[in-house]
Structure 1
């Protein structure tokens, strides 16, 4: 809050601007670290996003501890004040926020006008009428932070009852001066710079692993999705993934199918067999009249789910092996998943949409 006379010196603007800039930087860096850590699945980066604002808040708390200790050691100044005006901001049954326009008359300083906002119980509103004299307190080094004493000592009650305080020149200034625009701009600049710093520091994992264009995005794709491809015959192809990889990983199976050499460039296949790291496809000859299907028609997004459903049928037993086949030997395209584990063997069949049509319990 502010006063119209005898106002104390304002805090240095540079300190406020610097704190706003640092606060914006911490917010931007923290948000960027949380989002970036989630995208590239980096636990350390995600932890930094959580710890940075906590460390900054602790730093501010420790930096302000000496000032708060000095303020707590100072006894508040008690003075009389006259209510020039009041306005209740709202409330129905408990404490009501009330704006007071006061003339404060210290014993050893000139009177001044100040506007404050204080909660008053709705029952006590009648005790605070315009031109009533009240007892107030404020820190000695900040006479603008005035608070009305609701239960003053008997001595001050007697002084207030017999006091006649003339009004100081007004009107009173707003209780909370608007924040300088420069502070808001610097906070925004700090936020952008903090986020940019984190993104630039992690630009390699962010853009190399998830980018769609450019040489950095294409190079890892060629080395990780198809480490080895073996052509058995002109109409049969096999893809084997490297260690630590699985065709159930997101997008792996579709990329493996796209990498297969096809006889005559056709997408027509007789059968598809998928294991954890091995994909085998038998293509249909142009002159053959055997049932075939288009490789592009397989519900690739549903296949990992079908394998997982078959695994669930084994109960608590961890599956040791699984096998997925797709063909049209029975007429319509049929997808079969067989899972083997300590609990036995379970299987299911699905149609071309990936919808389960038949199950076999573990046995």
Structure 2
């Protein structure tokens, strides 16, 4: 969806670029710390890789409190809107995400079209029909952030009863201004810098392990094909895919896990981290007391749906990066999908069967 009218021009402010660079740096540092910590068997480094995203997320949330307070103090505009079309896009439970195409008709401005996604209870879903009129609210400076008012005031409810609205033309479509490629570039640069810093800081430990590995480990690095690369050591394994491939493709992730654990006695895993074209598994070192799990027991068939829900229903409309992490932190297996974009960070958590148990939308 492109911005045609009503949206301010895109500005890559220094603060936004710095935030993107820092977010990418945290992701790169965390992933590198997990892998390097597993290889050199450094528990503090491994724990740092697990805890750094959580600490950064908390700081990011606290830093945004003043902005959210200012935005909450501004009274939203209320207007009538007509449903052009709607369709459910999945979800579980009594509330399901529904994508609406609306014509919004403010009292003091021209009507415009907008697409939104909002959770609707299954019981209330029959009340929403094409050509139906309802009440919406939106911030004065962001008309694309429209939310349906499920229980309008009596005054607006009376207006809905006799209202007749005309459809706004397609060119009047309003959406959030695109961020372009600059923010994505600095985030990717931050990811590379974060990973490089960890590797440089612990290069001596990594090289010492390679120099003292005599005789060679019975599990040798191997290249499986020209389109994917598999590297396995006694403590970790990684699989990287070539261009045009994704671990969300059917069966791709399970084949990669089998290539790491199939005929090798690798034992249980401490963590499994999945990105678009990179899989990292840190295996449990001998004698460790950390909580472990069998990587082959994960519900891989649920991963594409979890990533799809995280990138489409949590308020991140232009996702730039996503990461899925499976780990046992408190006795039970937790699958967490984090996604970042111009709107901030969002995440969802699922249990060991892939059932969503918690959603944290972008704010």
TM-score (norm 2): 0.51
The worse-fitting range, judged by mean Cα deviation, of 92-101 and 28-37 is 92-101
Contact 1:80 1:160 in 2 (8 A): yes
| 1:192 maps to 2:186 | no
Contact 1:4 1:114 in 2 (8 A): no
Contact 1:4 1:113 in 2 (8 A): no
CA RMSD in angstroms, aligned pairs only: 3.2
Structure-2 residue corresponding to 1:278: none
Point out which structure has higher relative CO (alpha carbons under 8 A, 6+ apart): 2
Structure 2 CA distance for aligned equivalents of residues 90 and 29 of structure 1: 34
Contact 1:3 1:115 in 2 (8 A): no
Structure-2 residue corresponding to 1:49: 49
Structure 2 CA distance for aligned equivalents of residues 43 and 75 of structure 1: 50
SS of residue paired to 1:81? strand
Q: Which runs of 5+ in 2 are unaligned?
A: 215-363
Structure 2 CA distance for aligned equivalents of residues 189 and 154 of structure 1: 53
Structure 1 CA distance for aligned equivalents of residues 18 and 144 of structure 2: 24
Structure 2 CA distance for aligned equivalents of residues 174 and 140 of structure 1: 13
Superposition deviation, residue 173 in structure 1: 4.7
Cα pair distance change 1:188/1:164, threshold 3 Å = same
Structure 2 CA distance for aligned equivalents of residues 75 and 4 of structure 1: 25
Superposition deviation, residue 156 in structure 1: 0.5
The worse-fitting range, judged by mean Cα deviation, of 189-198 and 115-124 is 115-124
SS of residue paired to 2:170? coil
SS of residue paired to 1:72? helix
Superposition deviation, residue 93 in structure 1: 8.1
Structure 1 CA distance for aligned equivalents of residues 204 and 135 of structure 2: 65
Cα pair distance change 1:101/1:3, threshold 3 Å = farther
Matches within 5 A, 1:291-306: none
Superposition deviation, residue 34 in structure 1: 3.0
Cα pair distance change 1:23/1:86, threshold 3 Å = same
Structure 2 CA distance for aligned equivalents of residues 176 and 71 of structure 1: 16
| 1:28 maps to 2:31 | no
Q: Which runs of 5+ in 1 are unaligned?
A: 218-363
Look at both structures and tell me which one has the larger radius of gyration over its CA atoms: 1
Cα pair distance change 1:31/1:91, threshold 3 Å = closer
Structure-1 residue corresponding to 2:207: 207
Structure-2 residue corresponding to 1:75: 75
Matches within 5 A, 1:37-186: 37-90=37-90, 94-170=94-170, 173=173, 180-186=180-186
Contact 2:81 2:136 in 1 (8 A): yes
Superposition deviation, residue 177 in structure 1: 7.3
Cα pair distance change 1:13/1:145, threshold 3 Å = same
Matches within 5 A, 1:245-260: none
Contact 1:115 1:172 in 2 (8 A): no
Superposition deviation, residue 176 in structure 1: 7.2
Superposition deviation, residue 104 in structure 1: 0.8
Superposition deviation, residue 186 in structure 1: 3.5
Structure 1 CA distance for aligned equivalents of residues 55 and 159 of structure 2: 49
The worse-fitting range, judged by mean Cα deviation, of 60-69 and 38-47 is 38-47
Superposition deviation, residue 118 in structure 1: 1.9
Aligned residues: 214
SS of residue paired to 1:25? helix
Superposition deviation, residue 130 in structure 1: 2.1
Contact 1:103 1:168 in 2 (8 A): yes
Structure 1 CA distance for aligned equivalents of residues 203 and 93 of structure 2: 56
- String of CA shifts for 1:101-146, please: whole Å, max 9, x gaps: 1111112222211111223233433322222211111122322111
Superposition deviation, residue 64 in structure 1: 1.0
Cα pair distance change 1:180/1:212, threshold 3 Å = farther
TM-score (norm 1): 0.51
Structure 1 CA distance for aligned equivalents of residues 84 and 117 of structure 2: 14
Matches within 5 A, 1:221-236: none
Contact 2:101 2:114 in 1 (8 A): yes
Structure-2 residue corresponding to 1:244: none
Structure 2 CA distance for aligned equivalents of residues 84 and 19 of structure 1: 37
Cα pair distance change 1:26/1:163, threshold 3 Å = same
Superposition deviation, residue 178 in structure 1: 6.9
Cα pair distance change 1:22/1:199, threshold 3 Å = same
